[in-house]
Structure 1
Amino acid sequence: MAKDIRMPKLGQTMEEGTVVTCLVKIGDAVKKGDILFEVETDKATMEVDSPAEGFVKAIIAEVGQTLPVHAPILVLGDKDEVVPQSFIDSLLGGAAAAASTAPVAAPTPAPVQPATQPVAASAPTVSGSAVSLAGVKVLRLQKLGQTMEEGTVVNVLIKTGDSIKKGDVIFEIETDKATMEMDSPNDGVVRAILVESGQTLPVHSPMVILTDKADTPLPQSAIDAIRSSGAVAEAPKATATTPVPVPATPAPAPQVKAAESVPLTTGKVFATPRAKMVAQDLGIDIRRVPLAPGAARLTEADIRKAGQQPTTATVPPQPTLSLGQKVTINRLQRIVGEKMLQSKREIPCFYLNIRADMTELVKLREKLNKNASVKISFNDFIIKAVAMGLRHYPIMTGQLAGDHIQLADSIDIGLAISTPQGLVAPIVRDAFNKSLVEIATYCQGLIDRARSEKLTLDDLSGGCITVSNLGGFGIDSFIPIVVPGQCSILGIGRISDTCVPMDGNILIRKLMNLNLSVDHKVANGADAAQFLDFVKKTLEHAGNFA
């Protein structure tokens, strides 16, 4: 007897779910507990398993569709059972009714042919965003993070005719947070690639067409129908990795070693993460490294070969910009602008400044690093001091949430890091419970992953405060802009020798400016002043880090 399987409620707050992957096909035998779909809720991507045994007679839900809880998604039956079309039509009518009562309207599923009436390959069925063909799978842009709405194709790692397996990496996708790898949710043969490098497309847009076999019929009309089922917008030619933006550059760019005679590549330069890391270490501008014939992106060998080219040390690199030039705004610049404009519009800030005497801490750092396997930076001391301050003044971890202020569950601190692609502020998790050496090790790992473009969305999400240090540029003092979603940001200036009157004498002390920008919706002046003073005194007493 035919049984309809419906969208389960996978969490207490779940009202609808988006079908990310369909893991069965018509005719498959399934057992109770077998995984049928991967569904994305408002919290996470979860697996939907079968509540019953049977054979798949019809698949109602399409990949990319958003359906309310309890909407029909699949029909099971006995092995030789013929499910009447009227039964499927009645389920589709129920799905439409369920959608009308849901808080957010879901698209009506496409008509599904039962197993006894296979869809002809020459006549694709198109309904909204659904295109159904026997033996054909359409891979769509996955939602790689809760805030992701669109993604830019950075690299296409497959070609037409390739045989791929579930889990194979097929694209590198740039989101609003980072560059991520997208793997295939299905096995199959690549019959058509619908996107190209540099394109920006919304979540769930069609990207690749797979078939079970290389000789499965796939007419051009079907490809055209699938391509038109999702809008794909072309992005500007120059794109860049898009991490969480921060309003200050923490470190100067390295000296470029590439010879002047090598022309400068404009737009996006594709290179392996290892190649980018080696280029950073050698001080080579990857825009001046030519691609090997037929290669799609630079490799480590290309970078090392470029590094062996003779250069003239006395001749500085040519400037990449000139007066009067029109500079294309890349994705990173656009996101930075949007975030900073959001901050200025939505976060009423006040600003505090104080100077810390770092003389004893400079000596302590020298002593600790003398024979240490893990070198400790000034940022590591500052992060530890900030974490201790947040523990004493937890209001500084808060965010306004309707009629109350929600304090953070843990003390997570962002650290501004400079990369060849731009700025990122990955999060040092649970900083208060980490030792100084553990913070140094953790930060070095973040720096390595940032510069090799291996940061995850978890690395870039959340945080109570960001530490942005411009001391390396010789900056004494600056006012940073609060990152939306955080309560404050601490701007660090350089450590400078300063004449200080003390007990009737003039002493040379090493002083450093601390500038705190604070969201006045969350904290008042007294709270922030006490917090900043605590951080200052913690830094001034080296015994706090012993």
Structure 2
Amino acid sequence: MATKMTMPQMGYDMQEGTLVRWLKSVGDEVSLGEAVAEIETDKAVVEFESTAEGVLLELLVEEGTTVAVGESIATVGAEGETLVEDGDGPEETTEAEPVAEEEPSEPDAEEAPEAEEDESEADAIPLPASPSEVRASPIARKLAAERGVDLNTVEGTGPGGRILRSDVLAAEPMPASEAAPEEEEPAEASEAVEEPPMPEEEAPEVVEEEEPTEAMEEEPAKEAPEEVEEPVEPELEPEGDDMRLVPLTRMRQQIARTTVGSKTTIPHFYVSTDIDMTDAMSLRKEINASLEGDARVSVNDLVIKACVHTIKGFPKFNSSYTDDGIRMHDSINIGIAIADENGLIMPAILDCGDKSLTEISAASKDLVQRSQRGTLHAEEYTGGTFSISNMGMFDVTSFVAIIQPPQSAVLAIGTVQKRPVVQGDSVVVREIMLATLSVDHRVSDGAEGAQFIVQLKEYLEHPLRLLV
């Protein structure tokens, strides 16, 4: 039976991707895991690997087309297999139409106007589809519910009119809080009109209700000017020759969504410490002297290896928070921050748990090179379980990093620099690096964060343990 291949989700909140180029043609045989297309995400161009094995029967998307996550892009099956087209929809509608025509034809002439009235009323109110019938992504549905946006009033810009997250953000929320007073006012007015036929006992009640209503009407009038944020308008529409608006790239939009989402939903806390890297730097020099070719172990490689050892003793920092519980990851996949002129990505070195220091070094270099060529795999984008951000090459001594959802921790390291350090009764020069750990407080507490970074420091200050 033929299998549909769909647009994969290659990022935490990726909603759509652009099919840049097909690497296979109809009729070609494809193997499971073989690259069949190049897909552009918000941050990079990634090779899409086949999720099925067989013959490529159909290409459903043309090159250059933007497709929502989960939409079908190709069909793989057995050679000569006949594709089954979706025909149930039209058949059901053709069956339903005669029924709709027969029902109004049977009633008498007197009932016909009533049917017309019912149809006009249906056009006014019941016609909009229920939320479950509206074509919208899960993220868009959740956001619409939070913002009070009626999906029936939103025009989708995704494939086939599918409503995306950006469409909901652009829509105006339903003024539910404002609608209530408007409905109450006409109700009170109608009660006032009905006062003459009502008994005198109810007259005082109407008067008592009108007084607080007038007070309530005055309050919104006073608050209305306060709600108008006039200073915002000049920022949205800059004026003057010395100002210009630079459009956001897709990568910058993605970084904005990820970082804002992280800082607004993940309660960060931070622990920092100075790490004496003198012995680690000496060991690194000895290892590099013994390596052949262009193979070199970097400071970042030493930190990655130390983090792997530390995570094994503190597995909670290799987890993800969910409302149902904390998801513990068996594989240790270390994400490393890679920056270029377009922005920042954080792909992961997969399965670091059993890798040696030199294997981690080789995998790290390979990850950087493939990110520059745009040949990273989808799981390298989405599979990270712990991340490291290194700004030492920029001569930055200290900074804090934002956690990459859905991970629970990230380590920020600065440059290694020589400093005077007191040892006993003497002052010596040592090579010091400052490290800061950002932790999701929903997953762990300050004491555990402190224990983690102290253990990390122990490994780096006694680096021979990293070789065991």
Aligned with residue 231 of structure 1, among 136, 160, 184: 160
The code of the aligned residue for 1:150 comes to: E
| Alignment CA distance shift 1:331-1:232 (3 Å) | farther
Q: Unaligned regions of 5+ residues in structure 2, if any?
A: 75-156, 165-240
The code of the aligned residue for 1:357 comes to: D
- Verify the 8 A CA contact 1:500 1:509 in the aligned structure 2: yes
Kindly indicate whether residue 39 of structure 2 is the aligned counterpart of residue 173 of structure 1: yes
Q: Distance in 2 between matches of 1:329 and 1:355?
A: 38
**Aligned pairs (5 A) from 1:115-264:** 142-145=6-9, 149-155=15-21, 165=28, 172-176=38-42, 178-181=44-47, 186=56, 197=64, 200-203=66-69, 230-231=159-160
Kindly indicate whether residue 256 of structure 2 is the aligned counterpart of residue 341 of structure 1: no
The code of the aligned residue for 1:400 comes to: Y
| Alignment CA distance shift 1:364-1:179 (3 Å) | same
Q: Distance in 2 between matches of 1:324 and 1:164?
A: 54
Measured after TM superposition, the shift of residue 447 of structure 1 is 1.4
> Which structure has the larger Rg?
2
Q: Distance in 2 between matches of 1:496 and 1:377?
A: 15
Q: Distance in 1 between matches of 2:272 and 2:436?
A: 5
Q: Distance in 2 between matches of 1:206 and 1:229?
A: 14
Q: Distance in 2 between matches of 1:398 and 1:482?
A: 12
Measured after TM superposition, the shift of residue 169 of structure 1 is 8.2
Tell me the residue number matched to 1:243: none
Q: Distance in 2 between matches of 1:204 and 1:395?
A: 31
| Alignment CA distance shift 1:146-1:457 (3 Å) | closer
| Alignment CA distance shift 1:230-1:145 (3 Å) | closer
Measured after TM superposition, the shift of residue 404 of structure 1 is 2.8
Measured after TM superposition, the shift of residue 405 of structure 1 is 2.2
Kindly indicate whether residue 272 of structure 2 is the aligned counterpart of residue 353 of structure 1: yes
Tell me the residue number matched to 1:377: 298
Measured after TM superposition, the shift of residue 201 of structure 1 is 3.4
The code of the aligned residue for 1:330 comes to: T
Measured after TM superposition, the shift of residue 179 of structure 1 is 2.1
Aligned with residue 248 of structure 2, among 312, 317, 329: 329
Q: Which has the higher contact order (CA 8 A, sep 6+)?
A: 2
- Verify the 8 A CA contact 1:340 1:481 in the aligned structure 2: yes
Kindly indicate whether residue 3 of structure 2 is the aligned counterpart of residue 38 of structure 1: yes
Tell me the residue number matched to 2:355: 434
Tell me the residue number matched to 1:263: none
Q: Distance in 2 between matches of 1:151 and 1:477?
A: 36
- Over aligned residue pairs, what C-alpha RMSD do you find? 3.5
Q: Deviations over 1:164-207 (max 9, x none)?
A: 7465988632135752346897458x9xx98664x533357798
Q: Which has the higher helix share?
A: 2
Per the alignment, in what secondary structure is the counterpart of residue 431 of structure 2? Answer: strand
What is the percent sequence identity of the aligned residues? Answer: 31
Kindly indicate whether residue 276 of structure 2 is the aligned counterpart of residue 362 of structure 1: no
Q: Distance in 2 between matches of 1:178 and 1:458?
A: 14
Tell me the residue number matched to 2:442: 521
Q: Distance in 1 between matches of 2:401 and 2:259?
A: 10
The code of the aligned residue for 2:284 comes to: R
Aligned with residue 497 of structure 1, among 418, 434, 442: 418
**Aligned pairs (5 A) from 1:439-518:** 439-518=360-439
Measured after TM superposition, the shift of residue 396 of structure 1 is 1.6
Per the alignment, in what secondary structure is the counterpart of residue 485 of structure 1? Answer: coil
- Verify the 8 A CA contact 2:392 2:416 in the aligned structure 1: yes
Question: Under a length normalisation based on structure 2, what TM-score does the superposition of the two structures give?
Answer: 0.57
Q: Distance in 2 between matches of 1:459 and 1:402?
A: 25
The code of the aligned residue for 2:2 comes to: F
Measured after TM superposition, the shift of residue 531 of structure 1 is 0.4
Tell me the residue number matched to 1:103: none
The code of the aligned residue for 1:477 comes to: S
Q: Distance in 1 between matches of 2:407 and 2:63?
A: 36
Q: Distance in 2 between matches of 1:384 and 1:170?
A: 34
Question: Under a length normalisation based on structure 1, what TM-score does the superposition of the two structures give?
Answer: 0.49
Tell me the residue number matched to 2:463: 542
Q: Deviations over 1:282-310 (max 9, x none)?
A: xxxxxxxxxxxxxxxxxxxxxxxxxxxxx
Q: Distance in 2 between matches of 1:372 and 1:501?
A: 35
Q: Distance in 2 between matches of 1:157 and 1:405?
A: 39
- Verify the 8 A CA contact 1:405 1:522 in the aligned structure 2: yes
Q: Deviations over 1:138-186 (max 9, x none)?
A: xxxx32347754212445789xxx9874659886321357523468974
Q: Distance in 2 between matches of 1:206 and 1:523?
A: 40
Q: Deviations over 1:393-423 (max 9, x none)?
A: 1222232233432321122211112345432
Per the alignment, in what secondary structure is the counterpart of residue 252 of structure 2? Answer: helix
Tell me the residue number matched to 2:312: 391
Measured after TM superposition, the shift of residue 484 of structure 1 is 0.8
The code of the aligned residue for 2:402 comes to: I
- Verify the 8 A CA contact 1:150 1:203 in the aligned structure 2: yes
The code of the aligned residue for 1:385 comes to: A
- Verify the 8 A CA contact 1:152 1:174 in the aligned structure 2: yes
| Alignment CA distance shift 1:201-1:143 (3 Å) | closer
Tell me the residue number matched to 1:412: 333
Q: Distance in 1 between matches of 2:328 and 2:382?
A: 16
- Verify the 8 A CA contact 1:201 1:232 in the aligned structure 2: no
**Aligned pairs (5 A) from 1:19-30:** none
- Verify the 8 A CA contact 1:410 1:430 in the aligned structure 2: yes
Q: Distance in 2 between matches of 1:407 and 1:169?
A: 30
Q: Deviations over 1:69-119 (max 9, x none)?
A: xxxxxxxxxxxxxxxxxxxxxxxxxxxxxxxxxxxxxxxxxxxxxxxxxxx
Q: Distance in 1 between matches of 2:305 and 2:393?
A: 20
Q: Deviations over 1:443-465 (max 9, x none)?
A: 12211211111100111223231
The code of the aligned residue for 1:463 comes to: G
Tell me the residue number matched to 1:400: 321
Q: Distance in 2 between matches of 1:431 and 1:180?
A: 22
| Alignment CA distance shift 1:371-1:477 (3 Å) | same
- Verify the 8 A CA contact 1:469 1:491 in the aligned structure 2: yes
**Aligned pairs (5 A) from 1:256-295:** none
Per the alignment, in what secondary structure is the counterpart of residue 430 of structure 1? Answer: coil
- Verify the 8 A CA contact 2:336 2:388 in the aligned structure 1: yes
| Alignment CA distance shift 1:407-1:177 (3 Å) | farther
Measured after TM superposition, the shift of residue 431 of structure 1 is 1.9
Measured after TM superposition, the shift of residue 230 of structure 1 is 4.7
Q: Deviations over 1:321-357 (max 9, x none)?
A: x963422211111111101111011100111110001
| Alignment CA distance shift 1:484-1:206 (3 Å) | closer
Q: Distance in 1 between matches of 2:45 and 2:414?
A: 31
| Alignment CA distance shift 1:230-1:327 (3 Å) | closer
Q: Unaligned regions of 5+ residues in structure 1, if any?
A: 1-35, 40-44, 46-141, 209-227, 236-321
| Alignment CA distance shift 1:406-1:169 (3 Å) | closer
